[in-house]
């Protein structure tokens, strides 16, 4: 509510809300029998069933009216205490951000000693701690599955964490560094430098590196261009470079898909990948535990 760019929208909420509450109070009073007034014979609404069963305009029961008033009073008090009327923050100055931060602080106070204990263990040793890995699995589900999927199998543009194919290296310390500091990968677009035919030829050569059936003539034509344009990152043998995050092109594992069309798109238009840093959000202790868990996925220790 505090992010309104104009006071108009604040009053657009305040006026109808307050008017609605006051209007309901007036409506209930108008529809109710006045206290101390002489009883009035109920009027028939003109609806008759079974010859003599009539619908009468009887006043509402007092207990029912009381419930209406209690509801309106509760709503009015709530809007005074808590935000709900445009930019008015409420006299308690409550915010969902403060509430969230308090819950996080309470959780950290309760669980941080557990995570700090795991931080003292070596990553390779931590992999064999079933209790730690069970906790790490929950961390993974809450923080990583949106990109890498619930089974850690990845999806186009988001690598699988269950194989041994690593862009930046699969050592547990390297995995921890990726989680803590994030990664940013860039594959430049080569359409201008290669032209359409050159892109197709290089794609055929790239596919041939993993043993795929390709157009031999196109692959041979693309080999020279590959050595000029691509070997600097992916290596002359196509096995990649973990220092740069350049993928191995010989193992038939593809980050964005291994079809001819997809490989052509990657070469022609380039790719940009971003792994956000989790250091500030998770802290080192949780990142340490997650690194051990991710390492265990690729080594198969969780399945033993």
Q: Give the per-residue pLDDT at 190.
A: 96
The domains of the chain are located at 7-81, 105-182+276-303, 186-275
pLDDT over 70 at 201, yes or no: yes
The per-residue pLDDT for 303 is: 44
Residue 52 has pLDDT above 80, yes or no: no
Stretch 59-84: mean pLDDT, rounded?
A: 90
pLDDT tens-digit profile of 123-137? 999 999 999 999 999
User: One fold for both 105-182+276-303 and 186-275?
Assistant: yes
Q: Is residue 212 predicted with pLDDT exceeding 80?
A: yes
231 band by pLDDT with thresholds 50, 70 and 90: very high
Which one is predicted more confidently, 47 or 176? 176
Indicate whether 244 pLDDT > 70.
yes
Kindly tell me if the per-residue pLDDT of 302 is higher than 60: no
Q: In the predicted model, what is the mean pLDDT of the chain?
A: 90
Topology, domain 186-275? Cytochrome Bc1 Complex; Chain D, domain 2 (1.10.760)
Average pLDDT score over residue span 6-33 = 88
What is the value of pTM for the model shown? 0.71
pLDDT at residue number 4? 60
The candidate with the shortest Cα–Cα distance to 123, out of 303, 298, 304, is 298
The mean pLDDT value for 180-187 works out to: 95
pLDDT of residue 304: 41
More confident residue, 61 or 37: 61
CATH of domain 105-182+276-303: 1.10.760.10
Does 8 score more than 70 pLDDT? Answer: yes
Task: Say if residues 276 and 182 touch (Cβ distance below 8 Å).
Answer: yes
- Residue entry with tokens 């305009």: 57
pLDDT (mean) for 236-259: 94
pLDDT higher than 60, residue 92 = yes
Over residues 45-63, mean pLDDT: 80
**pLDDT average, residue stretch 158-172:** 94
Average pLDDT of 227-252? 94
């Amino acid at each position: 509510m505090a992010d309104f760019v104009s006071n108009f929208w604040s009053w657009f909420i305040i006026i109808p809300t307050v008017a609605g509450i006051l209007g309901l109070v007036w409506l209930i009073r108008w529809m109710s029998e006045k206290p101390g007034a002489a009883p009035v014979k109920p009027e028939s609404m003109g609806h008759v069933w079974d010859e003599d069963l009539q619908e009468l305009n009887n006043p509402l029961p007092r207990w029912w009216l009381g419930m209406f008033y209690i509801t309106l009073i509760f709503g009015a008090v709530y809007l005074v205490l808590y935000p709900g009327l445009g930019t008015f923050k409420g006299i308690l100055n409550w915010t969902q951000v403060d509430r969230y931060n308090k819950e996080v602080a309470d959780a950290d106070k309760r669980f941080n000693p557990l995570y700090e204990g795991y931080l003292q263990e070596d990553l390779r040793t931590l992999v064999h701690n079933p209790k730690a890995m069970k906790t790490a699995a929950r961390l993974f589900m809450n923080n990583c599955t949106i990109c890498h999927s619930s089974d850690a199998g990845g999806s186009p543009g988001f690598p699988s964490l269950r194989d041994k194919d690593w862009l930046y290296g699969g050592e547990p310390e390297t995995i921890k560094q990726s989680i803590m500091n994030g990664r940013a990968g860039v594959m430049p677009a080569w359409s201008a430098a290669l032209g359409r035919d050159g892109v197709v030829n290089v794609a055929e050569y790239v596919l041939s590196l993993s043993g795929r059936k390709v157009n031999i003539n196109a692959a041979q034509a693309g080999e020279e261009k590959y050595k000029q344009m691509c070997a600097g990152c992916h290596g002359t043998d196509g096995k990649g470079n973990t220092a740069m995050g350049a993928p191995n092109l010989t193992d038939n594992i593809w980050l964005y898909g291994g079809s001819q069309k997809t490989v052509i798109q990657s070469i022609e238009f380039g790719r940009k990948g971003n792994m956000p840093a989790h250091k500030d959000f998770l802290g080192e202790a949780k990142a340490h535990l997650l690194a051990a868990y991710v390492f265990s996925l690729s080594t198969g220790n969780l399945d033993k």
